[in-house]
Amino acid sequence: MSVIHRHRVSPWTAIPMDEAYSIIEEETDALDSEKTPVWRVKIGDVLAEDVNSAYNVPEVRTSIKDGYAVLASDSPGKRKVIGFSTAGSPCNSTLNPGECVRVSTGAFVPDSATAVVMVELTKLLEHDGSEELVIEVNGTAKDGQDIRLPGSDTSKGELLLEKGSTIRSAELGILLASGLQLVNVCKKPKVAVMSTGNEVCEAIRPRLPIGHIRDTNRPQLLALCEQSGADVIDMGIVEDDEESLVQAISTALSISSVLISSGGVSMGEKDLLKSVLSEKFGFKIHFGRVFMKPGLPTTFATGEFLGQKKLVFALPGNPASSWVCAQLFAVPSIRKLRGEHRIWHTRMSAKLSDTVKLDSRPEFRRGFIERKEGEILPIVTTTGNQISSRLVSLRGAQLLLELPGKSEMSEIPAGSIVQALVIDRL
């Protein structure tokens, strides 16, 4: 289309953030799962089924303390040591009055014993040079004292991990303790990432032609998607012409579930992403603008390609905009594709360190947390100038402040409580 016929006003209504969130959640479906031996499950994998304990833990009565298995009915005084029970070497000797079995923490407690007395409450009276023969128990033991009952940690059939749980170090231990041999694990989504623009060059080039820029969007989006649990595919830089875009998008969709692009979605004469997606691929554009800052021209589309549903996030070209929009929209979608049950960023309250002027649109300002003595809430400081082209505004960002659009209030004073999305470790 000739530039003289381009739109002077966007044909796309800027939809509210909540509507954009709802559309993405509705259009994203978890991928298939596969049976995996539990010893091959890795940190970051997501469970596609509930995990229930296959056994009681412990399976038998075990000792909570290092000490002696005794009869609680015996009075304080001497006990003959008739055996020992250590982890891996159980002893099930029958106790008679006045007898005991030495036990270690976690070891099997003989069936006839009714209590365990910890070693600190005993005194050695006789030995043969290597083994204890007679001890003295100080005080009276109670029935069940320091005995861990079968199933007291987890009982057979108990829910240990929910479907959608992400495996971390603790979850890995719980999974291995379940007694299961196989578990359903969600497949990772394949996410293709490309940058568009005739002016965009590889970042490693030492010198650039006049009017060109280094491609920082693609590397940081690839890193973000990989960090979010996707298998990433680098599609490189694509020129701003219809033929190049059709070829690159076709290749990307043939090898991935999700395509994330940056650039080509605004009002310029070379902004062709929307028209290519709708006219050449028949994809449905669910939204072509979102009422937010940064990232007004953010676009989300879905469609069938080679018989499978594909998702496309066409993000703005400015580096801060593309990264913020990927955090808000692409990352939750990747989490849902992975089968996670918690897909949206955690919200928290924080206190502003400085006064912030409001924009006409709701704004997502980058910020980081500071701890100050005497403050109950964490203090949040923004990362300086928030212009969407300023890449360093992402540096050290732990939060995205959810600031309302300007209405009767034009600024939020320092010390005010604001809501923020957690996007990195605090």
User: CATH code at 114?
Assistant: 2.170.190.11
Q: How far apart are CA 355 and CA 13, in angstroms?
A: 31
Q: Is residue 342 part of a domain?
A: no
Q: How far apart are CA 175 and CA 165, in angstroms?
A: 11
In total, the chain counts a number of residues equal to 426
Number of domains in the chain: 4
Q: How far apart are CA 284 and CA 82, in angstroms?
A: 79
Token pair in block for residue 164: 């959608």
Q: Are strands 122-127 and 132-137 parallel, antiparallel or unpaired?
A: antiparallel
One domain for residues 233 and 301:
yes
Q: Tokens 């040591």 label which residue?
A: 81
Q: What angle do CA 328, 330, 331 make, to 5 degrees?
A: 75
One domain for residues 247 and 325:
yes
Token pair in block for residue 197: 């623009």
First to last CA, the chain: 49
Q: What angle do CA 43, 46, 48 make, to 5 degrees?
A: 145
CATH code: domain of residue 360: 2.40.340.10
Q: Is residue 379 part of a domain?
A: yes
Token pair in block for residue 141: 């033991």
Give the pLDDT of the chain (426 residues) as one tens digit per residue.
Answer: 566 666 667 788 999 999 999 999 999 999 999 999 999 999 999 999 999 999 999 999 999 999 999 999 999 999 999 999 998 899 999 999 999 999 999 999 999 999 999 999 999 999 999 999 999 999 899 999 999 999 999 999 999 999 999 999 999 999 999 999 999 999 999 999 999 999 999 988 888 888 899 999 999 999 999 999 999 999 999 999 999 999 999 999 999 999 999 998 875 666 799 999 999 999 999 999 999 999 999 999 999 999 999 999 999 999 999 999 999 999 999 999 999 999 999 999 999 999 999 999 999 999 999 878 778 889 999 998 888 888 888 999 999 999 999 988 999 999 999 999 999 988
Of 214, 177, 199, the C-alpha closest to 58 is 177
CATH code: domain of residue 322: 3.40.980.10
One domain for residues 293 and 202:
yes
Q: How far apart are CA 25 and CA 17, in angstroms?
A: 12
Of 34, 57, 51, the C-alpha closest to 165 is 51
CATH code: domain of residue 53: 3.90.105.10
One domain for residues 46 and 97:
no
